[in-house]
Structure 1
Amino acid sequence: MPRRRDPAAPAVVYRTARVGLRLTVGQRRRCFGLLRSAGDVWACVLELNAWRRQRRDKPLASYQELCRELAASGPGTFGELDSTGARSVLRRFSDAWFAAAKRRRDGDATARFPRRRRGLVPVRWYHGTFTLDPGGRRVRLPTARGGRPLWLRLARSLPYPAEQVRSVTLLAEGGRLFLDVTAEVPVTVYEPGCGPDPARIAGVDLGVIHPYAVAGPDGQALLVSGRAIRGEHRMHLADTKQRRRAVAGRAPTRGQRGSRRWRKYRRRSRAVEGRHGRRVRQAQHEAAKTVITWAVQQRVGTLHMGDPRGVLQLAAGRRHNLRLRQWQVGQLIRILVDKATLAGITVHLVDERGTSSTCPGCSRRIPKPSGRVLTCPHCALTGHRDLVAAASIATRTPGGGPTTPAGSSVVLPGVVTHRRAGRHLPGAGRSRRDPRRPPAPRAARGSVGQRWPAPPHSGGESLAHTGEDPQHPPETR
């Protein structure tokens, strides 16, 4: 993947898709061997810099210097790992080292240089070093000179054309092997008069219950529900606690070698954690895609998104701190910015301080509502508190403090579109039942349970004939 592109070239966005692998036992063994060899490269760099620290020499952090040391090690030092894959590990180490150095220069004393060993390190190959099958279901990874070719079968077809693929990365997560495919995707081009208008601005408020609440310029609004994501976090936490309590008596003591049963439990735990992360990540992408699709339909060209990451530094108790960590607000921002850039929409981060506690009508402080409806006791303004905050965020100026340009008026939402993220999560489908929940108590023998209320009209007409809801007649809706 090139680090510098011609400024005159068409704008592109780098997108990465994670694809599973269908491997034989031998292919799986060779893939893990490549990842372990990459871990050996990482450990060698750490060991070399440890020796230099003892001699008080300058550490080796430059990518060019590390490549010279790799060339001096000779062929065959790291098994089947070729020089391109080994250099990708050196690039990863160099980027991590200089990122930590920059943070320390900026005054962040908590930044640490990479000094921890890793058993498995991802390996990346760039365009021209790997081969894609014309059918898009197989990929050939390069190996060391004299090694056998390594062809891997993909679990699904690549979501990008072969000519757009720039790199592939082999990695392991939760005991499973994946291939991250990175491609250059051109920014969407619209017909004249149909694309996003930069003058049309919408505000985005980030939250836990609603990951994205968007207020548009014409009174249009969008609410994306994230209750399924929150339920997935809660049920995963309860399942993890129950599993830990069940194996607490079998846990090996400190210094004792673990049994096969304990290793099996750890392997199962890693698999469950990986599945949970993939489920939440997919739901977050669905929510961001819903926002961008709605913005393109409304021809919104600029999104003002409130940055709430300052609240992460506040200690709010053990339970609420866990909710904030599970929120993953930084990932929500990153996903939305990536999809907005691909659609040709500009995103600005603004200060959202006071948007949920200030009335946009009279600009006076209002108490925090107990529910989702905000009501101003001074001017009687009423609305959904997340959408009211998003409408105020739309008027904020990017950069600096919580400033609103003089003369700008808040456009309150009039038409609200509701969408739900995470329909693939357990319990979010038609059954509305998570298999991890304990079963409901059965009714007594002979009882038929709660019946559907009888229709208010007589004649025995079904719901399909009248189209009416028996619980909500037309005159009471």
Structure 2
Amino acid sequence: MLRSAGDVWACALEVNAWRRGYPLEQVRSVTLLCEGGRLFLDVTAEIPVTVYPPGEGPHPGRVAGVDVGIIHPYAVAGPDTKALLVSGRAIRAEHRMHLADTKARRRAVARRAPKPGQRGSRRWRKYRARARQVQGRHQRRVRQAQHEAARTVVTWAVGQRVGVLHVGDPRGVLQVPAGRRHNLRLRQWQIGRLLQVLIDKATLAGITVHLVDERGTSSTCPACRRRVSKPRGRTLTCPHCRFSGHRDLVAAATIATRTPGGGPTTPTPVVLPGVVTHRRAGRHLPGAGRSRRDPRRPPPGGARIKMAGCGPPHHPVGSRSPRTVRIHNTTETR
């Protein structure tokens, strides 16, 4: 029988660790969170790092560059002229439709909203609970899509035997005011979370990650090293040497030549990718891969889109070794 709050907490901890497959000696911290009116347990566990059979694991001499962006959360240029593009248009659509839905809800109840200091009615409390529920669902959808994008990059890097990832750090743009609309895009971008999720999953797979300066990589021609004005689309065309290539992949290839803590120490030639693999992040989002209609409206015929579960899984690759790394997991309590 549970006699106190401590007993309830200990029982929840054991159930959560058992569901995730973590022995209690590997659990380092547990935090109770409330998100969208629902309770979650945030568990920090210490789990082994992946090892591979001889000759099949990531090689420390194979380096790939990763460019972090909004339209493409990750653009990777690896060795052997191979590249990966992860599309984030479904995530942008989710942000846009959630903002439109939130504005419509607020306009609908603006007249019935209680005044400052006035106690709300039962209907108002139900509306606020529903708004918190929708906000929590939106956050879980975006978080799941970000984990899927990072898992795609790590799986591709393991298949290419990439041992080192040079990731461009664009967080300096957050300090530059760019207007109301672009500031909203930067806030929804969630750069820090994208970097942290990629670092966690790459470290778990045995891949080393270095953050490098990405300044000028998207506006410098890799052939003649001259500055190129920002293109309107995704294709970078140099007016000086007539070079043309995908803007994000050109930046990723240049980032691969950068060294941690500064720019390239020597004029390293940039190897541009020739084989590009395309993947989409957020397949579980409503309307992903469908037409351009409103993804929150039901499709013709009255059938509604079924929502998928949105937890942030960390799936290991290969077998495990005695080396360990800490990651974060979140599980809902019942």
Which consecutive residues of structure 1, in runs of 5 or more, have no partner in the other structure? 1-29, 31-78, 86-124, 132-138, 142-151, 441-477
Q: Point out the structure with the larger strand share.
A: 2
Q: How far 1:157 moved relative to its partner?
A: 7.4
Q: Which residue of 2 aligns with 1:158?
A: 19
Do the aligned partners of residues 252 and 224 (structure 1) sit closer, same or farther apart at CA in structure 2, a change above 3 Å counting? Answer: same
Q: Which residue of 1 aligns with 2:107?
A: 245
Matches within 5 A, 1:220-239: 220-239=82-101
Q: How far 1:433 moved relative to its partner?
A: 4.9
Counterpart residue identity of residue 122, structure 2: R
Supply the distance in 2 between the matched residues of 1:140 and 1:345 (Cα, whole angstroms). 31
CA contact (8 A) 1:160 1:183 kept: no
| Moved >3 Å (runs of 4+) | 79-82, 161-165, 167-170, 429-435, 437-440
Q: Percent identity?
A: 74
Correspondence for 2:277 among 404, 414, 417: 417
Task: Indicate whether 1:318 and 2:154 are aligned.
Answer: no
* Equivalent residues, number: 298
Counterpart residue identity of residue 256, structure 1: Q
**C-alpha distance after superposition, 1:63-82 (max 9, x if no partner):** xxxxxxxxxxxxxxxx9444
Correspondence for 1:365 among 215, 227, 230: 227
Which consecutive residues of structure 2, in runs of 5 or more, have no partner in the other structure? 301-334
Do the aligned partners of residues 274 and 168 (structure 1) sit closer, same or farther apart at CA in structure 2, a change above 3 Å counting? Answer: same
Q: How far 1:163 moved relative to its partner?
A: 5.7
Name the SS of the counterpart of 1:316 in structure 2: coil
| Alignment root-mean-square deviation, CA | 2.5
Q: Give the TM-score normalised by structure 1.
A: 0.59
Q: How far 1:169 moved relative to its partner?
A: 3.7
Q: Which residue of 2 aligns with 1:267?
A: 129
Supply the distance in 2 between the matched residues of 1:245 and 1:358 (Cα, whole angstroms). 46
**C-alpha distance after superposition, 1:103-145 (max 9, x if no partner):** xxxxxxxxxxxxxxxxxxxxxx6xxxx35xxxxxxx467xxxx
Q: Which residue of 2 aligns with 1:214?
A: 76
Q: Which residue of 2 aligns with 1:279?
A: 141
Name the SS of the counterpart of 2:51 in structure 1: coil
Supply the distance in 1 between the matched residues of 2:13 and 2:101 (Cα, whole angstroms). 39
Q: How far 1:261 moved relative to its partner?
A: 1.2
**C-alpha distance after superposition, 1:359-392 (max 9, x if no partner):** 0110011121111111111111111000000000
Do the aligned partners of residues 374 and 140 (structure 1) sit closer, same or farther apart at CA in structure 2, a change above 3 Å counting? Answer: closer
Larger RCO, structure (CA 8 Å, separation 6 or more): 2
CA contact (8 A) 1:205 1:212 kept: yes
Supply the distance in 2 between the matched residues of 1:432 and 1:186 (Cα, whole angstroms). 43
Name the SS of the counterpart of 2:109 in structure 1: helix
**C-alpha distance after superposition, 1:413-451 (max 9, x if no partner):** 1000000000000111557654425989xxxxxxxxxxx
Q: Which residue of 2 aligns with 1:392?
A: 254
Q: How far 1:219 moved relative to its partner?
A: 0.5
Q: How far 1:165 moved relative to its partner?
A: 4.7
Q: How far 1:220 moved relative to its partner?
A: 0.4
Supply the distance in 2 between the matched residues of 1:140 and 1:353 (Cα, whole angstroms). 45
CA contact (8 A) 1:202 1:302 kept: yes
Matches within 5 A, 1:8-23: none
Do the aligned partners of residues 278 and 197 (structure 1) sit closer, same or farther apart at CA in structure 2, a change above 3 Å counting? Answer: same
Counterpart residue identity of residue 269, structure 2: S
Which piece of structure 1 moves more, 272-281 or 176-185? 176-185
Name the SS of the counterpart of 2:19 in structure 1: coil
Q: Which residue of 1 aligns with 2:268?
A: 408
Do the aligned partners of residues 346 and 282 (structure 1) sit closer, same or farther apart at CA in structure 2, a change above 3 Å counting? Answer: same
Q: Which residue of 2 aligns with 1:355?
A: 217
Matches within 5 A, 1:8-407: 80-82=4-6, 130=10, 139=12, 158-162=19-23, 165-166=26-27, 167-400=29-262, 403-407=263-267
Name the SS of the counterpart of 1:172 in structure 2: strand
Which has the higher Rg, Structure 1 or Structure 2?
1
Counterpart residue identity of residue 150, structure 2: A
Name the SS of the counterpart of 2:46 in structure 1: strand
Supply the distance in 2 between the matched residues of 1:297 and 1:338 (Cα, whole angstroms). 18
Counterpart residue identity of residue 286, structure 1: E
Name the SS of the counterpart of 1:199 in structure 2: strand
